[in-house]
Amino acid sequence: MRTVEPLHVRLLRLLRDEGAVSRAELGDRLQMPRPRLLAELERLVALGYVAEAGLAASRGGRRSTLVELNPHLRFAAVDLGASSLDVEVVNGRLEPVVAYAEPAEIRSGPKVTLQRVNELLHKAKVDGAYERLDAVGIGVPGPVSFRDGVPVSPPIMPGWDRFPVRELLTREHGCPAVVDNDVNIMAIGERHGGVAHSVDDFLFVKIGTGIGCGIYLSGEVYRGTDGCAGDIGHIQVDPHGPMCSCGNIGCLEALFSGAALAREATAAARSGVSPALAERLTARGAVTAVDVAEGAGEGDVTCIQLIRDGGAAGRQRAGRAGELHQPVDDRDRRRARPARAHPAGRDPQRGLPPVAATGHRQPTGGAVGTRPARRGRRCRRTRQRRGLRGGVMTRETVARQRCPRGHRPVAEPL
pLDDT tens figures, 196-243: 988 999 999 998 888 899 999 998 999 988 888 888 888 888 888 888
Q: Which of 11-25, 227-241, 319-333 has the lowest mean pLDDT?
A: 319-333
Residues 167, 279 share a domain: no
Tell me how long the chain is: 414
For residue 348, name the pLDDT band (cuts at 50, 70, 90): very low
The CATH number given to whatever domain includes residue 286 is 3.30.420.40
Residues 18, 45 share a domain: yes
- For residue 404, pLDDT over 70 is answered with no
Q: Which 3 state secondary structure label does DSSP give 152?
A: coil
Q: What is the mean pLDDT of residues 157-161?
A: 95
Higher pLDDT, 382 or 273: 273
Residue pLDDT, tens place only, 33-45 = 889 999 999 999 9
Q: For residue 109, give the amino acid letter.
A: G
Domain of residue 139, residue span: 75-206
Residues 195, 116 share a domain: yes
Q: Which letter, b or e, does each residue of 21-56 get, where b requires 16 or more Cβ atoms within 10 Å of its Cβ?
A: bbbbbbbeebebeeeebeebbeebeeeebbbebeeb
Last residue of a domain, one of 324, 342, 367: 324
Q: What are phi and psi of 394, to 5 degrees?
A: -135, 160
- Close Cβ partners of 126 (under 8 Å, ≥ 6 residues apart): none
Last residue of a domain, one of 48, 69, 90: 69
Residues 103, 24 share a domain: no
DSSP 159: T
The mean pLDDT value of the chain amounts to: 79
Q: What is the mean pLDDT of residues 346-371?
A: 38
- For residue 352, pLDDT over 70 is answered with no
Domain annotation covers residue 336: no
Residue pLDDT, tens place only, 57-114 = 776 667 778 999 999 999 999 999 988 999 999 999 899 999 999 999 999 999 999 9
Does the CA dihedral 87-89-93-95 come out positive or negative? negative
Higher pLDDT, 196 or 312: 196
- Close Cβ partners of 204 (under 8 Å, ≥ 6 residues apart): 183, 186, 187, 190, 196, 213, 214, 215, 216
Last residue of a domain, one of 25, 48, 69: 69
- For residue 315, pLDDT over 60 is answered with no
- For residue 139, pLDDT over 70 is answered with yes
Residues 263, 172 share a domain: no
- C-alpha 301/C-alpha 156 separation (Å) is 33
Residues 195, 111 share a domain: yes
Q: What are phi and psi of 21, to 5 degrees?
A: -135, 145
What pLDDT is attached to residue 312?
62
Does the CA dihedral 267-271-275-279 come out positive or negative? positive
Number of domains in the chain: 4
- For residue 138, pLDDT over 50 is answered with yes
What pLDDT is attached to residue 328?
37
Domain annotation covers residue 409: yes
What pLDDT is attached to residue 325?
44
Reported as type and span, the H/E element at residue 373 is none
User: Residue 344 burial by CB count (10 A; 0-12/13-18/19+): exposed, middle or buried?
Assistant: exposed
Residues 63, 85 share a domain: no
Domain annotation covers residue 352: no
Residues 112, 36 share a domain: no
Contact 1, 218 (CB under 8 A): yes
- For residue 354, pLDDT over 70 is answered with no
Residues 100, 57 share a domain: no
Domain annotation covers residue 341: no
Which of 124-128, 233-237, 358-362 is the most confident on average? 124-128
Residues 166, 94 share a domain: yes
What pLDDT is attached to residue 61?
67
Q: What is the mean pLDDT of residues 154-177?
A: 95
Domain annotation covers residue 365: no
Residues 172, 86 share a domain: yes
Domain annotation covers residue 221: no
- For residue 388, pLDDT over 90 is answered with no
Residue pLDDT, tens place only, 262-310 = 988 999 999 999 999 999 999 999 999 899 999 999 999 999 998 888 7
Q: In what order do the strands lie in the sheet with 211-217?
A: 202-207, 211-217, 220-221
- C-alpha 102/C-alpha 309 separation (Å) is 31
- C-alpha 302/C-alpha 76 separation (Å) is 42
Domain annotation covers residue 27: yes
For residue 337, name the pLDDT band (cuts at 50, 70, 90): very low
- For residue 161, pLDDT over 50 is answered with yes
Residue pLDDT, tens place only, 242-260 = 888 888 998 988 888 888 8
Residues 12, 51 share a domain: yes
Domain annotation covers residue 102: yes
Contact 133, 171 (CB under 8 A): no
